[in-house]
């Protein structure tokens, strides 16, 4: 999959209708938006098209209505917030997704107007990539713009079906930033490259680790997944989380790293607890973890080693926390990694829900190069997978005069 795609600046939007797949899946409470970060993130793309004399048909899912109309998941609050955020333009709302009302409203759109479709997942065909739904959506517009990175790993009607029909199909500014971050981190990196992986389970990260081994110079491992690797190396792990059915996978990954000359660093000391709880008794130990105790964070010596590796890095990719950072007693490893990233002048890319939460908790989010907006999509790109929502876009090409 080529990651270099046509973008907004490659096209003229004057007099055109652009179908823009956005991510307005915002948290709602009793019809009130609790956090409009995703709406604000889409504004540069929407403004660019509208200011260029184009019209926008914006489409998003909201929640999980599973093909049914759910009144509490209607897009009305989003339309209202959009109008507040785009006061110089007219925001309209369709009462359906791809029915007569939406089609008629789209046909009447004037330059500088934005039409927000109803919740895409009110249509059962959205998640099934139904060709008929994709055709109805595509017929409303002249250009397709993908700006919802968090949905690009799903082959849905609005992410894969529409851009297969509606051409040109290009990336919006938000998606372009995601693509550029991956290209700079994995395709054209400043070396040495350090990959940091954490989280609970090795099984969740096997494809990520195998792909990273081919691209990085050092891998730092934390979180519960570390204990499966440590058990492979003959260390006692007490009651720590170990996936015994993945021990062979862990051995294979260690062998691959050694064969590739990649430093594969595991915790040498641990913050351990006598139970999985905020108020558990805890202590720091090196090496073996005693019976009845479980590792819930990397220890200070490990953190110092990891921080030194980050300080020497040209590029760092971080996916997964170093410990149970939701509990105050076991978040120092994750916060320490965040602090090292902030202090470094490396290219730093952070993705995955827990990693993003950790960097935001540290208060240092504005000091890293890029924070990904897509959890599952970020993980699948780290695995080296082709994302349907990106693959469907037009590759960049030089147009000869």
Which residue among the candidates 112, 375, 376, 384 is catalytic per the annotation? 376
Cα separation of 306 and 3, whole Å? 30
User: Quick check: helix, strand or coil at residue 61?
Assistant: coil
Is 275 a residue of the active site?
A: no
The pLDDT assigned to 202 comes to 87
Domains of the chain (ranges plus CATH)? Answer: 8-178+387-391 (3.40.50.1260), 191-345 (3.40.50.1260)
Q: In 10 A of CB 248, how many CB atoms?
A: 10
Distance CA 339, CA 278 (A): 23
What tens digit of pLDDT does each residue of 296-336 get?
999 999 999 999 999 999 999 999 999 999 999 999 999 99
Burial class (CB in 10 A: 0-12, 13-18, 19+), 261: exposed
Distance between alpha carbon 317 and the CA centroid of its chain, in Å? 13
Question: Is residue 191 annotated as a catalytic residue, yes or no?
Answer: no
Residue 353: active-site member: yes
C-alpha distance from residue 128 to each of 20, 157, 159, 172, 386 (Å): 19, 7, 11, 24, 18
Phi, psi at 122, each rounded to 5°: -70, -20
- Mean predicted confidence (pLDDT) in 364-375: 88
153-194 tens-digit pLDDT = 999 999 999 999 999 999 999 999 999 998 888 888 999 999
Across 72-76, average pLDDT: 96
Average pLDDT of the segment spanning 91-101 = 97
CB 318 within 8 A of CB 337: yes
Of 21, 38, 154, 331, the active-site residue reads 38
With 90 as the cut, is the pLDDT of residue 397 above it?
no
In the residue annotation, 376 being an active-site residue is answered as: yes
Radius of gyration of the chain (CA): 23
Confidence of residue 400 (pLDDT cuts 50, 70, 90): very low
Q: Out of 112, 314, 353, 375, pick the active-site residue.
A: 353
Catalytic position from the list 16, 201, 263, 301: 201
Are 95 and 37 in contact by the 8 Å Cβ rule? The answer is no
Q: How many residues belong to the chain?
A: 401
Residue, of 358 and 139, whose pLDDT is higher: 139
Mean pLDDT value across residues 70-82: 96
Closest CA to 355 of 379, 331, 316, 321: 321
């Amino acid at each position: 999959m080529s990651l270099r795609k046509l973008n907004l600046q490659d096209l003229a939007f004057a007099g055109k209708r652009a179908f823009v797949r956005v991510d307005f899946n915002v948290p709602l409470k009793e019809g009130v938006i609790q956090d409009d970060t995703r709406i604000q993130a889409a504004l540069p793309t929407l403004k660019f098209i509208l200011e260029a004399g184009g019209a926008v048909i914006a489409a998003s899912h909201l929640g999980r209505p599973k093909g049914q109309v759910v009144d509490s998941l209607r897009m009305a609050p989003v339309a209202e917030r959009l109008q507040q955020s785009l006061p110089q333009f007219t925001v309209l709302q369709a009462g359906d997704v791809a029915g007569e009302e939406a089609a008629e409203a789209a046909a009447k759109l004037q330059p500088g107007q934005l039409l927000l479709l109803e919740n895409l997942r009110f249509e059962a065909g959205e998640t099934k990539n139904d060709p008929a739904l994709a055709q109805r959506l595509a017929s409303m517009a002249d250009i397709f713009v993908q700006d919802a990175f968090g949905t690009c790993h799903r082959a849905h009607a609005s992410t894969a079906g529409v851009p297969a029909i509606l051409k040109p199909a290009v990336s919006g500014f938000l998606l372009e930033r995601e693509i550029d971050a991956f290209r700079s981190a994995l395709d054209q990196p400043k070396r040495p490259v350090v990959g940091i992986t954490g989280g609970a389970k090795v099984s969740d990260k096997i494809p990520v680790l195998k792909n990273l081994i081919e691209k990085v110079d050092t891998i730092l491992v934390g979180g519960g997944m570390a204990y499966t690797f440590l058990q492979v190396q003959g260390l006692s792990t007490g009651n720590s989380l170990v996936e015994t059915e993945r021990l062979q996978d862990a051995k294979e990954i260690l062998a691959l790293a050694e064969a590739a000359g990649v430093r594969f660093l595991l915790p040498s000391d641990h913050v351990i607890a006598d139970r999985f709880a905020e108020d558990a008794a805890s202590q720091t130990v090196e090496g073996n973890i005693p019976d009845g105790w479980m590792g819930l964070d990397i220890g200070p010596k490990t953190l110092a080693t990891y921080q030194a590796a980050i300080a020497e890095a040209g590029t760092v990719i971080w996916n997964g926390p170093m410990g149970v950072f939701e509990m105050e007693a076991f978040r120092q490893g994750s916060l320490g990694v965040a602090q090292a990233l902030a202090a470094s002048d490396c290219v730093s890319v952070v993705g995955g829900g827990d990693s993003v939460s950790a960097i935001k908790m540290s208060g240092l989010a504005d000091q890293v190069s890029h924070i990904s907006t897509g959890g599952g999509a970020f993980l699948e790109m780290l695995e080296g997978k082709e994302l349907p929502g990106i693959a469907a876009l037009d590759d960049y090409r030089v147009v000869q005069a």
